[in-house]
Amino acid sequence: MISDATLADHGHPKPGFIRTYIFSLDHKMIARQYLILGLIFLMVAGLFAVLIRAHQVNPGRPLLVVGNMLTKVAGQAMTGDVYNSLFTNHGAMMIFFAITPIVIGAFGNFIIPLQVGAGDMAFPKLNMMSFWVIFLGAVLIVASFFMPNGSAAGGWTAYPPLSSGKDASGSAYLLGRGPLLWILAIALAGTSSLMGSINYIATMLNMRAKGMTLMRVPLVTWGLFYTAVLNVLWVPVVAVALFQVFLDRALDANFFVPAMGGQPLLYQHLFWGFGHPEVYILILPVWGLVGDLLSVFSRKPAFGYKLTVLSMGSIVALSQVVWGHHMFTSGMSPVLGNWFVLLTITISVPTAVFFLNWLATLWRGAIRLTVPMLFSLGVVFVFAIGGLTGLFNALQTFDIHVHDTYFVVAHFHYTLAASVLFGAFAGIYYWFPKMFGRTMNRTLGTLHFAFSFIFMNCVFMPMFVVGIGSHMRRIVDWTKYEYLGELRPLIEFMGIAAVALGLAQLLFVFNFLYSVFFGKRAEQNPWQATSLEWVAPTPIPHGNFIEPPVVYCGPHEFSNPGVTERDWIMQTEDTGVTQS
């Protein structure tokens, strides 16, 4: 089914400034809006992370420059309430306001209609609303910092009774309106995700161009589709959990008040019921993107495309029944624990299939080390580490010891901060020419990759050692514990590496901003790729394609021996020699 939206210039007058740039119905403009929002929060939440690690180098003293902004008493070191608020918002902002807007909001919005050959998303008005809803959420989470008692400080996980309850004298454990605003902000982010997900699913299933079968859709769109499915199923669950916390706080409900029959453990089940699929929500688009980019820059078809799609699907299924591995210390029955161990550990099988397919795509290829390719290869490396350390955490007995230590923090930063973020960078460098009509500087991009890769590993590899050293999480001052003193060299090293990692991102910021305004104009298909977004002209007109595309082959037709003057075949070319 192709709507009239496929045809460019379908006869309405050119919209004004506000309709074009602010309240746009065009998926490409909405994507850019998501990208800017996401990049801003990436910098803010990233700054919080640098502050956290720099503070840990010398926890008894205030930080340089910003130290006095972070304490009530001048010259005093950061106190627990401020520190707790820093890591709480580092987590919440990174997940809901940085990574989700970039990898799901920006990439999904920009790429899905283009790659399936549609003129826009299925529901443009809903799409526009989804951005403004998360924008409102972003305003609220920033506002939470200006409340008298500060923002939320219960961890991004916000376990009750800490986040919801009151002590014997009737004052809340976490004072003030900040936590309420924080909860509302996340609820709005979730609502935005739901709206977007409806669009992604409908567009993927109903608006594919003629000849674009499901098995010819690029892997990144498959990843985004799966992400949308998980979102639709599980965001409502976390909304319920947060809503219960909200009601306990604001209206003295008793969901999590044991004396009145409430059960704090219920929150953990609801939260992690969402929380585990959430981490796959964040990484599925990256898995798809890496699959596509390794193919483009090896000039070879993606090895085992169907099996990759199937593996991603099986992980979608498995991810929904493993949430208990976040709760091994909660006192669950060992029988239940055994099931969670087995199901969690089984996820390594489809993951191994991806790795095989990625390596086999590269094998016997003709590899081009462009900046998107460097980041994709980086993902393969850091996700290998992140995924393999997931195996440790899946083991109940081992996990009971490392739960709430830095071992877990290192694991999820390898899979999130390293893998998903590198995937986000890969996508930004890759689609920048199409999004903004200009090219980013390759030298700066290569340096950005090199420094990010080195310093990312320098921060998080020692963190595994620190976790094995039984260093607890979320501790404002580790020097209170004598046994942690031995870990000092590691902690100092991580602090320096974190500051360096933060500084390295300036290379990207400068490159991005400069290139948006002054970069060299991009050609239509600078990477010599084959999917439909590169069929569209640069800059992409309203309606995307000059005429509705007709698709004759899959998205990875590289180095086909039947075509000799080029090593790629666009999806819209009818050559008769393709196998997909």
Partner 1 sequence: MYPKNISAHGGEVDHLFNLAFLLTGITLLLIVGIMLWILIVYRGRPGRRAHYSHGTSKGALILTAVVAVVVFVGLDVTLAIEDHHAYKIMYGTRPKDPVVVQVFAKQFEWHFRYVGTDGVFGTADDIYSLGELTVPLNKPVLLRMRSADVVHSLFLPYMRRKQDVLPGQTVELRFTATQTTEQARAERSDPNYHSEISTIAGWFRFRGENTERLDWFSVNKPEDDEDDHHSKKAPVSLLPDPKAFDFEIACAELCGANHARMRGVLTVRSEKKYEAWVAEQSKLAQSDEAPEINDIWIGWTIAPPVTTGSNAVEPKESS
Site for partner 1 in 283-302 (CB under 8 A): 298-302
Contact with partner 1 (CB under 8 A) among 63, 283, 296, 459: 63
Q: Taking CB under 8 A as the rule, does residue 428 contact partner 1?
A: no
Piece of 97-105, 257-265, 421-429, 522-530 that binds partner 1 (CB under 8 A)? 257-265
**HSE-up (13 A, CA, CB side) for residue 148:** 2
User: Minimum distance from CB of 550 to partner 1 (Å)?
Assistant: 22
Binding to partner 1 in span 329-358, by CB under 8 A: 329-331, 334, 337-338, 341-342, 345-346, 348-349, 352-353, 355-357
Phi, psi of 472 (to 5 degrees): -70, 160
Give the binding range for partner 1 (CB under 8 A) out of 201-209, 412-420, 431-439, 462-470.
462-470
Nearer to partner 1 by Cβ, of 439 and 580: the residue is 580
Query: Of the candidates 3, 79, 320, 446, which one interacts with partner 1 according to CB under 8 A?
Result: 79
480 binds partner 1 (CB under 8 A): yes
Question: Which residues between 489 and 548 bind partner 1 (CB under 8 A)?
Answer: 489-490, 492-493, 495-496, 499
Strand partners of residue 550: 210
Closest CA to 91 of 44, 129, 125, 127: 44
Q: What is the dihedral of CA 6, 8, 12, 14, to 10 degrees?
A: 130
**Collapsing DSSP states into helix, strand and coil, what is residue 198?**
helix
For residue 60, state whether it binds partner 1 (rule: CB under 8 A).
yes
The residues in 302-321 that bind partner 1, with binding defined as CB under 8 A, are 302-307
Q: Name the minimum Å distance from CB 484 to partner 1.
A: 9
- Looking at 23, 132, 135, 173, which residue binds partner 1 (CB under 8 A)? 173
Q: Binding string, 204-243, against partner 1, x = CB under 8 A?
A: ----------------------------------------
Residue 350 in tokens: 């489809």
- Our CB check for partner 1 shows the closer of 195 and 490 to be 490
Distance CA 310, CA 316 (A): 10
162 scored as a contact of partner 1 (CB under 8 A): yes
Task: Pick from 1, 22, 369, 513 the residue near partner 1 by CB under 8 A.
Answer: 369
DSSP secondary structure string, 235-280? HHHHHHHHHHHHHHHHH---TT-GGGT--HHHHHHHHHHHHHHHHH
Cis amide linkage into residue 489, ω under 30° from 0: no
φ and ψ of 236, to 5 deg: -60, -30
Q: Does 62 bind partner 1 (CB under 8 A)?
A: yes
Binding to partner 1, residues 9-48 (CB under 8 A): none
Q: Which amino acid is at 406?
A: Y
Count of residues near partner 1 by CB under 8 A: 126
Tokens 């400034």: give the residue. 17
Do 269 and 321 meet the contact criterion of CB atoms below 8 Å apart? no
* Residue 504: half-sphere exposure toward Cβ, Cα within 13 Å: 18
Member of 52, 447, 477, 541 binding partner 1 (CB under 8 A): 477
Which positions from 371 through 400 interact with partner 1, judged by CB under 8 A?
377, 380-381, 384-385, 388-389, 391-392, 394-398, 400
> Minimal CA–CA distance to 160: which of 278, 270, 274, 273?
270
Q: Which is nearer to partner 1, 18 or 65 (CB)?
A: 65
Q: Decide if residue 442 touches partner 1 (CB under 8 A).
A: no
Residue 366 touches partner 1, criterion: CB under 8 A: yes
The smaller minimum CB distance to partner 1, of residues 405 and 419, is found at 405
Q: Rule CB under 8 A: choose which of 439, 470, 516, 528 binds partner 1.
A: 470
Q: How far is the CB of 125 from partner 1 (least distance, A)?
A: 40
Cα 444 from Cα 467, distance rounded (Å): 34
Q: Assess 266 for contact with partner 1 (CB under 8 A).
A: no
Q: How many CA atoms lie within 13 A of 524 on its CB side?
A: 12
> Which of 179, 264, 288, 543 forms a contact with partner 1 (CB under 8 A)?
264
Q: What one-character-per-residue DSSP string does 121-137 give?
A: -S-HHHHHHHHHHHHHH
- Show the 3-state SS of 70-101: CCCCCCCCCCHHHHHHHHHHHHHHHHHHHHHH
Identify which of residues 482 and 547 has a Cβ nearer to partner 1 in the complex.
Answer: 482
Determine which residue in the list 43, 52, 81, 247 makes contact with partner 1, applying CB under 8 A. Answer: 81
Query: Of all helices (H) and strands (E), which one includes residue 372?
Result: helix 371-394
Give the binding range for partner 1 (CB under 8 A) out of 25-33, 79-87, 411-419, 447-455. 79-87
CB-count exposure of residue 443 (10 Å: 0-12, 13-18, 19+): exposed
The answer to the question of residue 177 lying near partner 1 (CB under 8 A) is no
Binder among 190, 218, 445, 462 for partner 1 (CB under 8 A): 462
Give φ, ψ of 11 to 5 degrees.
80, 20
Under rule CB under 8 A, residue 249 binds partner 1: no
Q: Between residues 121 and 377, which has the closer beta carbon with respect to partner 1?
A: 377
In the numeric block, the tokens 């689609």 are attached to: 431
**Would you say the C-alpha torsion 310, 315, 316, 318 has a positive or negative sign?**
positive
State in angstroms the smallest separation of the CB of 277 from partner 1.
Answer: 21
One residue of 406, 455, 478, 512 binding partner 1 per CB under 8 A = 478
By CB under 8 A, residue 149 contacts partner 1: no
What is the SS3 assignment for 470?
Answer: coil
Residues paired with residue 545 on neighbouring β-strands, in sequence order = 7
- CB nearer partner 1, residue 127 or residue 578: 578
CA distances from 554 to 114, 461, 467 (A): 15, 39, 45
Q: Contact between 568 and partner 1 (CB under 8 A)?
A: no
Does residue number 368 form part of the binding site for partner 1 (CB under 8 A)? yes
From candidates 116, 286, 476, 501, binder to partner 1 by CB under 8 A: 476
User: CB within 8 A of 188, min separation 6: which ones?
Assistant: 133, 134, 136, 137, 140
Q: Are 237 and 273 in contact (CB under 8 A)?
A: yes
Residue with Cβ nearer partner 1 (146 or 483)? 483
